[in-house]
Structure formats: structure tokens, C-alpha cells
Amino acid sequence: MWKVKVLIQFFLSHLPMGEKINYLLQNLKNSHSPEKMANRINDLSKSLKKLGEHVELEGSTVVEIGTGWEAIGTILLYLMGVKICHTYDHVPHLRFELVQMLINEIENHIDEISQFISVPKPILDERLSKIKTSENLNDFFEKANIIYHAPGDAAETGLESNSVDVVYSNAVLEHVPKEVVNNIIIESKRILKNTGVAYHLIGLHDHYVSFDKKISKVNFLQYPEWLWAFFVYNKISYHNRLREKQFLTIFKSHGAKINWIESKIDEPDIDVLKKIKINKKFSGMTPEELAVYRTEIIISFPSA
């Protein structure tokens, strides 16, 4: 069944109204249901808590890469006291109705969120009440001190050098070409203050696993690059298949210091990798290196 999803996204990527149709299909399968929003709020709250342990977010200037459909990370950053957030997306996915749903869902789980992100509930209540009265997206942006760049390019932010405290992305770097990853890191190094950091959560797993539980998180590593490029390198479902080791090589090539990293592996995937024929694109890497399905990393650029 996962191949059906690949084909649907492939065709949508070639249609003028593909992005809007994709959104309608998401609604049909309840991708933005309150329950799924609550799960995403929970996950992003945890990642932002880790970021907050390495840099002071209160009063900071943040560049977010990948606003998304609901702006979950953007709103949580606002609730954590970010002074101004420049958020970039290659197309304007954000919908006001989803922002409203998200704000209501955050309000329903405010106690848990307060514990996750270590911000007192009265402060969260005050900040949430401010944006809850938003009448449209522009009103929301103004009240939350958000500058929405969409279409925008996080590799060419247009911001001043040494002007940003944090660069943040969640499940984004796996969805852009390798050369774009390079350009994003170069731009991050330019705009970050010498005390600044970049946080990236990178989903390294086969993104069609959730659609078909019969396949492993490393299933996609067996396909030839030409086939993967033809069907998956498109504006709807792009997935570069870069492994953690390759991301680390890119970061370090630009002088990045690894301040903190957490990698996740499922042991059964190592056994799968020993049995399937891996595409030559991944030759030279051990099963353990290939099996990393999620990386959270915080980097800085001391030499900058």
C-alpha cells in the first residue's frame, strides 16, 4: 500500500493545484485531528525543552526552518518567550483554521506543556490569551512576533550576519536536497551569533513505514538512486535518504562543533540490513550506522 502513496504524491507534485489537493487528502485521513495535534505538541515540546537546556530562549531571536501546516513549533517558541521568530517555508502551507485548532488544543493541554517546556502556567495562559483573539493569520503573526517567509528560503534569509540566537528545524533536513542542506548550514553559520546554536531533529527512517506497518524503517535503503529520484525527489514528498553519518560530515565540513547529539536505533533493523541488498549509494557504512532512524543534534560554530 505504501507504493500507492508514493504514486499519489508523485502525481500531485506535477499538478498546478497539487498542494491544495494534498491538504484536502490530509483532511480526509484526519491528519490534523485534535488527537494527532496533541501528539505533535507533545513531541515538539520535548524537543524544545532539550533546546532550552542549551540556550536561553526567553528574549531570543530565532530562525525556524519549515513552518509547516500548523506552525506548532512556531507557536511553542512564542510561548517559551522568543522575542521574534523568522519562520521559513518553501510554500505557504500554513492555514489559519489549523492555527486556531492548535491554540485550542494547546489550551486543553496547558498543564502538561508547562511541565514540558518549564514555563509557569500563568505566563503560558497570558501569552496564549493574546494570540487566541487573532482574527486572521496576519493578526496572529503580529501578536506572536512572527515574521512568516513563505515562499521563503532558509538558505538565503536576508538577515544580518551575527544577528540570530537560534536556528531551529524539526523533521526538515531530510526533505531537502543535499546541496540545500549545505547551503542552510552555511547560512546558519553566517547569521548565528558566536553564542548561538542550531538545533535539528532529523527523521532518518523510511517515511512510508507509518503507511505500511509491514515494512521496516530501513526498507527504502535498498532501492536504486535513479528509481528513488524519479518518484520521490519532488516538491510534495522529497526525501533525500541521507544517513546520520553523512549529515555529521556536512556539519563538520563547515566548522560545526557538536554540542549534543542523541541517536536512536531499533535493533531489529540491524538484522534487516544484514539480509537485504543495500543500494551502492550507502556502501562503506556499517549496519549500525545505516540503522539510525532519528537524530537530534545541537551544533555551534566557534570559529565564526
| pTM of the full structure | 0.91
Instruction: Identify the pLDDT of residue 9.
Output: 60
Cβ pair 246, 258 in contact under 8 A? no
Q: pLDDT digit string (tens) for 262-296?
A: 999 999 999 999 999 999 999 999 999 999 999 99
Residue 183 · residue 155 · CB < 8 Å: yes
Instruction: Tell me 154's DSSP state.
Output: T
CB atoms within 10 A of CB 231: 16
Quote the pLDDT of residue 32.
Answer: 74
**Tens of pLDDT along 119-136?**
999 999 999 999 999 999
Inter-helix orientation angle 96-108/110-117, to 10°: 90
Cell representation of residue 111: 498543564
Q: From CA 234, how far away is CA 211, in angstroms rounded?
A: 19
Structural domain total, the chain? 1
Give percent helix, percent strand, percent coil of the chain, each to the nearest 5.
50, 15, 35
Which residue from 192, 202, 211 is spatially nearest to 254, judged by alpha carbons? 192
Reading the chain (304 residues) residue by residue, the pLDDT tens digits are: 545 565 556 555 655 666 676 556 566 667 778 898 899 999 999 999 999 999 999 999 999 999 998 999 999 999 999 999 999 999 898 999 999 999 999 999 999 999 999 999 999 999 999 999 999 999 999 999 999 999 999 999 999 999 999 999 999 999 999 999 999 999 999 999 999 999 999 999 998 876 556 678 999 999 999 998 888 888 777 899 999 999 999 999 999 999 999 999 999 999 999 999 999 999 999 999 999 999 999 999 987 6
The CA distance from 208 to 210, in Å, is: 5
Residue ranges making up the domain that contains 47: 2-300
CATH code (residue 194)? 3.40.50.150
